[in-house]
Chains A and B, each alone.
Chain A
Amino acid sequence: MPLITEITIFVLAAFVGFEVISKVPTTLHTPLMSQTNAIHGIVLLGGLIVVGLSNFWLDNLIGTIAIFFGTINIVGGFMVTDRMLGMFVRKPKKEEPAEKPDAGDGDAGAE
């Protein structure tokens, strides 16, 4: 792809990003950050391509670590965002103190 096309995409995406993200309220800035973090994990694609092209141990190692890092980024990022946003969703039954709000990890991934 010609460099100029790629730079065009980059500039347009920057404008879209600024427009969309400016509308995110401060209340949601932490989930926004962890969600964009997860999106950034798309570098995994690069890792897949490096490993795909490699046939030498060092390249294999580099690529596999990149895949490992990218996957942590994606899986962890989206899941933790989901967990956080789940807390912002209004609970339908508000008068039900059955779930003792215990600050431990017991309430993790409450789906």
Chain B
Amino acid sequence: MTAPLLAALDPQSAFVQACYIVAFSLFILGIRRGTHPTTAKQGNLIAATGMVIAVATTLALKGIGNWGLIAIGMGGGAIVGVVASRRVQMTAMPQMVALYNGVGGGAVALIAWGEFRHFLALGEAIPLDTFVPILFSMVLGSVSFWGSNIAFGKLQGLIPGQPVKVPGQQVLNGLLLVGIVTVCIVLGFDHDSGPSQGLFIAVLIAAALLGNLFVLPIGGADMPVVISLLNAFTGLSAAAAGIELDNTALIVAGTLVGSSGTILTLAMATAMNRSVPNILFAGFGALPTGAAEAEERPVTSIGAQDAAIKLAYADSVVIVPGYGMAVAQAQHAVKEMANELEKRGVDVAYAIHPVAGRMPGHMNVLLAEADVPYEELKEMDDINPEMPHTDVAVVIGANDVTNPAAKDDPNSPIAGMPIIEVDEAQQVIVIKRSLSPGFAGIDNDLFYNEKTSMLFSDAKQAAADIAAEIENL
């Protein structure tokens, strides 16, 4: 196996190292540019340039061969990547990200296995400072590959989104984890005397099982946390792969992704007022809380025409979107409705709860797709003080994130969760198909508030109807 290259580069040479330094610097610059909507697109191009440099440098390394296979792998991957990224709808972005995350984790696990086999083939002892990262990245990569695939399945509706619970699951997961760690330690002790590949594969499979079992019991609305956490896992596994391969670009890039995933995970958990372990292990949505009290309470129901009148004669309107808006693909209709209101001089803003949707920032992307200027998208902490001066709050496909029980009822499962305080607004219109409870499985007192009018309809249809009615006023 020779590498007939124009200039085969020595992996340890200063030039190669410099190229990798340039690459990871561009990643950092790219992310830094991502701190503002106007510069983020440019930032993404900068990061992509860094990636081109890193890949080109690696392709020129001495010893890289098997060009046919590289072409197949990269060509196939590029085609899938291009097609998928162009086809995917913005509402499906969470599952897209889950899938990309999964393949990244899968790649890490396979690379770890490949490296392991490389050392076995050489018949040399595997230095512990290489073997430990190999084991670490293999386990974490495998967990995040399978975990991400389950998350994808849940988001795509291939697997029930409700928590799937198996009796004794925590114990089983705990045993699996202990088993994985134990076998890894056994393998580590054998590092200089040919560790068993059978055991290695057994760990790979156990980690796969753990990935499946760990995401299956987590419900749909907790997906923002799961996706962020898996993102952090793949990042860390890539950093470990960087250590096993002595590649600085990989270490830095993986660590950046790990930081990002960690920050997002903590932000999502804070926004739910739950600890990360609680989200991961409690199987929240499965609780039958409150569903028992099926007392009939009166609600005020209105039609599109009345809603249009309320909105058209308001001075300020705040729209609170939730996952229901994404499911109904209603973002364009909502924007049309807002346009009609703005034409009449109504002040329109959007209040975005951090965990609205199925991934961090999901609502923002959907509304950006519908050409809503990002200045109109208000974060929870900024909009809540405005609520008492708001004439009408329109809740579209959101539920738990507006439930006043989080503030008022210390016994509620969502007690203490920060909410968008729509109940403080002068009037509330809730667009919803039925009175069914949200993911938390609890009744929303907001629906029975005397300020609240329920518009029972599909979100897209309702927004379109209201827009048409406003135009006819």
Contacts and interface: CB of A to CB of B under 8 A. Distances in A.
Interface of A: 1, 3, 6-7, 9-10, 13-14, 16-18, 20-56, 58-60, 62-91, 101-103, 105, 107-109
28 contacts: A7-B243, A17-B259, A18-B259, A23-B35, A26-B267, A32-B260, A37-B97, A38-B100, A39-B30, A41-B104, A42-B51, A42-B254, A45-B54, A46-B111, A46-B247, A51-B69, A51-B70, A58-B117, A63-B66, A63-B114, A66-B114, A69-B77, A72-B80, A75-B81, A76-B81, A80-B96, A83-B86, A109-B86
A70 B70 CA distance: 11
A59 B90 contact: no
Contact of B47 (A1, A13, A24, A35): A35
Contacts of B402: none
Interface string B14-50: 0000000000100110111011111011011101100
Contacts of A39: 27, 30-31, 47, 51, 253, 256-257
Contact of B231 (A36, A59, A81): A36
A39 B117 CA distance: 26
Contacts, number: 392
Contacts of A49: 58, 61, 64, 111, 245
Q: Is the interface of A mostly helix, strand, loop or mixed?
A: helix
A67 B70 contact: yes
Q: Is the interface of B mostly helix, strand, loop or mixed?
A: helix
Given A54-B118, A67-B74, A85-B40, A75 B85 contact: yes
A5 to B, nearest CB: 9
Given A16-B256, A39-B256, 17 more contacts: A9-B251, A17-B255, A20-B31, A21-B259, A24-B35, A32-B264, A36-B231, A40-B104, A41-B104, A43-B104, A44-B107, A48-B58, A51-B69, A67-B74, A75-B78, A80-B88, A87-B369
B276 interface: no
A41 B80 CA distance: 14
A30 B369 CA distance: 13
The interface centre, meaning the residue of A42, A53, A54 with most chain B CB atoms within 10 A of its CB, is A42
B368 interface: yes
B38 A89 contact: yes
Interface in B100-142: 100-101, 103-104, 106-108, 110-111, 113-115, 117-118, 121, 129
Interface string B225-265: 00110010011001101110111111111111111111110
Contacts of B263: 18, 21-22
Contacts of B174: none
A46 to B, nearest CB: 4
Contacts of B108: 43, 46
Interface of B: 1, 3, 24, 27-28, 30-32, 34-38, 40-41, 43-45, 47-48, 51, 54-55, 58-59, 61, 63-66, 69-70, 72-74, 76-78, 80-82, 84-90, 93, 96-97, 100-101, 103-104, 106-108, 110-111, 113-115, 117-118, 121, 129, 227-228, 231, 234-235, 238-239, 241-243, 245-264, 267, 329, 331-332, 335, 352, 354, 359-362, 364-365, 368-371, 373-374, 377, 379
Given A66-B114, A101-B335, A108-B86, A73 B104 contact: yes
Given A9-B248, A34-B93, A76-B81, A62 B113 contact: yes
